[in-house]
Structure 1
């Protein structure tokens, strides 16, 4: 996880206020990757999904360490909801639509030329 949390000043997100809790917050792809990796590690350590407060605190600490931003539990939970919606849409494309496939090399969904 040390590599995942290495400071990356070029990709620091924009927060309109000092606390990051009430202002506009722009999530980056890199932040999503870090957040998902932290969640994966959290679960692999045996933590249960029903510990939302602890999970949110763990996520907030990891993102603060990497990006020097303070995120509220609401912002973290809202982002997780958004990512779950995106995952559902991606799964629908792969399972219910023809012409879409998963490329394991690029880790992206690809569409055939017909689509």
Structure 2
């Protein structure tokens, strides 16, 4: 890659080459930052990158930059994801991870069946996967699906539902202690197949600050 100098000339920029030793140190650094809470929603914080750059530069005596780490992170994650998704982690029937050989292993007939269905699986029969256990700690959650992969919108809806449940439970408690009444009494006949009275039709009492403190104090004594 050519890089332009201030005087207008260009020089060939040396490509940043990653070695197995560098990968090992980088993965170790990522796990450390993740364990210290410097990875939020699957992304490392700016402070995490600063820490990793400083750590790797000192440990390996090489000039690391944030972009080097971000690019290598993408490469490691992509390679891991190909394997993880194909074998569903290590839960695909007949397959198992061997930490000594660093291979995904299975009987030949099991391999043949998978390769027949998915030819791209053939390379993983003999391809070692370095640091698979560590990469799984880093990236397995990102490959989750279904209920475990909840979106921000789904989480907001979940919180709203939880709040609604709490509100309904609070109203039930008020009804039980006669602290609230319904605008219209409900007869046994009306309860048969009739919809539940909406919360908007409930008359909630106004509780003064003094009364509220007294009530909260009673709860603390009770528990």
- Number of equivalent positions: 94
Aligned ranges 1:1-115 → 2 under 5 Å: 23-49=14-40, 50-95=43-88, 100-110=95-105, 112-114=107-109, 115=111
More helix by share: 2
Offset of residue 42 of structure 1? 1.3
Unpaired segments of 5 or more residues in structure 1? 1-21
**Alpha-carbon spacing, 1:51–1:102, altered in 2? closer, same or farther (3 Å):** closer
- Secondary structure at 1:46 match in 2: coil
Work out which structure has the larger RCO, using CA pairs closer than 8 Å and 6 or more positions apart in sequence.
1
Unpaired segments of 5 or more residues in structure 2? 1-12, 112-223
Q: Distance in 1 between matches of 2:105 and 2:29?
A: 27
- Secondary structure at 2:22 match in 1: helix
Q: Distance in 2 between matches of 1:55 and 1:26?
A: 22
- Secondary structure at 2:39 match in 1: coil
Offset of residue 27 of structure 1? 0.7
**Alpha-carbon spacing, 1:73–1:100, altered in 2? closer, same or farther (3 Å):** same
**Paired residues of 1:93 and 1:100 also in contact (CA < 8 A):** no
Q: RMSD of the TM alignment (CA)?
A: 2.5
